[in-house]
């Protein structure tokens, strides 16, 4: 079987979705198989392509090849350049995310990963042009795909229910914590180095992820403001790119409203090799998102023995179960109380840490990669 994988995200600092494709591809490269893999990217720089190959561990593997397709823009790549290539050099199955290539030959099986469909439930948080694009192309992509994969049971069920898709056509897998993350240096020397590098305070509540509106960061700031005087030695650290697409401008408004300029810290984008140390340094990890498909940061916090307070929503319950504290992401009173409790109650914290480390054992990228490979094989047989 010849398998094509869209790896354009790798190396783009796109957080969650990049992590998924990186780890799936890396684990597929470790599985002993006769299948051949073509990894498609719009990256054209030779040094960067070599670096990506090294990251993925495919150097010297004869059944793995990176295919670089130059393009004018991402739309042209998906709708013209890729399809032109595949018509001359077909694969048996092609893996992408969200938007499928529509005009490739029908004998090429298409598998698409959908991380979440939040834009259907929180359209007010999406640019109108982006919303129109998603509303138009996602249904068409689901129709074209031979298999649709959600990143959780919750996401699978949402896709089936919202798009009225045949349940036989939709499956799910679980994300996990990468080996690279688990193996990062979290020694005392590293923690000191990372604190200095990113200007981290001695004691802090951490959020790490994108700063988009559905992540509910103004709500977290409001919750922190409500209990700040009770935990006056604890800052709030928001890790994310303030210049990224769809930054929530209400974040700055909430900080000004409560005069928190000296208490809220923005370290910017954290280098991948420093992420574990940032989690390890945190007193609490807070994840107040209104909607998620999965929630890898929860597992990363578990791995670093950092107590987690998460929004009480189905996908995060699926990930955390009894290893995290949960609170209503629309009630400042409830969330601020939970934030206070997890900050000061040592018995609560110890119990969460113990259960968190056990919980991470239920999620494994190798198991997910093998499930994905079996899905490819099944879709070819149909």
Is the same domain home to 101 and 171?
yes
Is the same domain home to 170 and 41?
yes
Is the same domain home to 149 and 76?
yes
**pLDDT per residue as tens digits for the range 305-339:** 999 999 999 999 999 999 999 999 999 999 999 99
Is the same domain home to 18 and 162?
yes
Is the same domain home to 263 and 347?
yes
Say how far apart CA 71 and CA 84 lie, in whole Å.
12
Residue 279: in which H helix or E strand, if any? Answer: helix 275-281
**pLDDT per residue as tens digits for the range 252-262:** 999 999 999 99
Is the same domain home to 230 and 160?
no
Confidence (pLDDT) at 128: 87
Query: If we measure between CA atoms, which residue out of 242, 221, 224 comes closest to residue 232?
Result: 224
The torsion defined by the Cα of 127, 130, 136 and 139, in degrees rounded to 10, comes to -100
Is the same domain home to 171 and 143?
yes
Percent of the chain scoring above 70 in pLDDT: 99
Say how far apart CA 5 and CA 369 lie, in whole Å.
13
Q: Which of 122-131, 163-172, 176-185, 212-221 has the lowest mean pLDDT?
A: 122-131
| CATH number for 8 | 3.40.50.2000
Is the same domain home to 218 and 167?
no
Q: Look at residue 97 and give its three-state secondary structure.
A: strand
Containing structural domain, residue 19 = 2-176+364-381
Confidence (pLDDT) at 244: 80
Is the same domain home to 246 and 263?
yes
Confidence (pLDDT) at 126: 84
* Burial tier of 101 (Cβ tally within 10 Å: 0-12, 13-18, 19+): buried
Q: Which sign, positive or negative, has the C-alpha torsion 246, 248, 252, 255?
A: negative
Confidence (pLDDT) at 110: 97
Is the same domain home to 117 and 206?
no
Say how far apart CA 16 and CA 210 lie, in whole Å.
9
Is the same domain home to 120 and 52?
yes
Contacts of 185 (CB under 8 A, 6+ apart): 273, 276, 277
Is the same domain home to 355 and 376?
no
**pLDDT per residue as tens digits for the range 66-107:** 999 998 887 899 889 999 999 999 999 999 999 999 889 999
- Cα 228 to chain centroid, rounded: 29
Q: How many domains does the chain divide into?
A: 2
């Amino acid at each position: 079987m010849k398998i094509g994988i869209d790896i354009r995200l790798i190396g783009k600092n796109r957080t969650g979705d990049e992590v998924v494709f990186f780890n799936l591809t890396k684990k597929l490269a470790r599985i002993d198989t006769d299948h051949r893999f073509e990894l498609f990217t719009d990256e054209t720089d030779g040094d960067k392509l070599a670096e990506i190959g090294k990251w993925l561990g495919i150097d010297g593997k004869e059944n793995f090849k990176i295919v670089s397709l130059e393009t004018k823009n991402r739309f042209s790549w998906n709708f013209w350049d890729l399809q032109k290539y595949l018509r001359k050099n077909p694969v048996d199955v092609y893996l992408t995310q969200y938007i499928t290539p529509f005009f490739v030959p029908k004998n090429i099986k298409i598998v698409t990963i959908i991380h979440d469909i939040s834009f259907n439930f929180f359209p007010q948080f999406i640019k109108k042009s982006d919303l129109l694009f998603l509303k138009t192309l996602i249904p068409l992509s689901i129709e074209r795909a031979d298999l649709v994969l959600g990143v959780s049971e919750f996401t699978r069920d949402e896709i089936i229910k919202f798009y009225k898709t045949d349940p036989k056509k939709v499956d799910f897998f679980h994300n996990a914590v990468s080996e690279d993350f688990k193996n990062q240096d979290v020694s005392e020397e590293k923690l000191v180095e990372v604190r200095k590098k990113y200007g981290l305070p001695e004691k802090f509540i951490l959020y790490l992820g994108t700063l988009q509106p559905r992540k509910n960061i103004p709500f977290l700031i409001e919750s922190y403001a409500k209990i700040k005087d009770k935990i006056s030695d604890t800052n709030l650290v928001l890790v994310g790119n303030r210049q990224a697409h769809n930054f929530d401008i209400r974040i700055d408004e909430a900080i000004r409203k409560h005069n928190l300029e000296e208490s809220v810290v923005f370290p910017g984008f954290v280098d991948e090799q420093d992420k574990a140390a940032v989690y390890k340094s945190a007193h609490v990890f807070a994840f107040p998102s209104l909607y998620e498909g999965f929630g890898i940061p929860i597992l990363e916090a578990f791995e670093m023995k950092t107590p987690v307070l998460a929004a009480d929503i189905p996908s995060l319950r699926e990930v955390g179960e009894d290893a995290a504290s949960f609170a209503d992401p629309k009630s400042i009173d409830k969330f601020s109380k939970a934030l206070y409790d997890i900050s000061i109650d040592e018995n609560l914290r110890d119990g969460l840490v113990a259960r968190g480390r056990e919980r991470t054992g239920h999620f494994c990228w190798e198991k997910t990669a093998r499930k994905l490979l079996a899905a490819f094989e099944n879709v070819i047989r149909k």
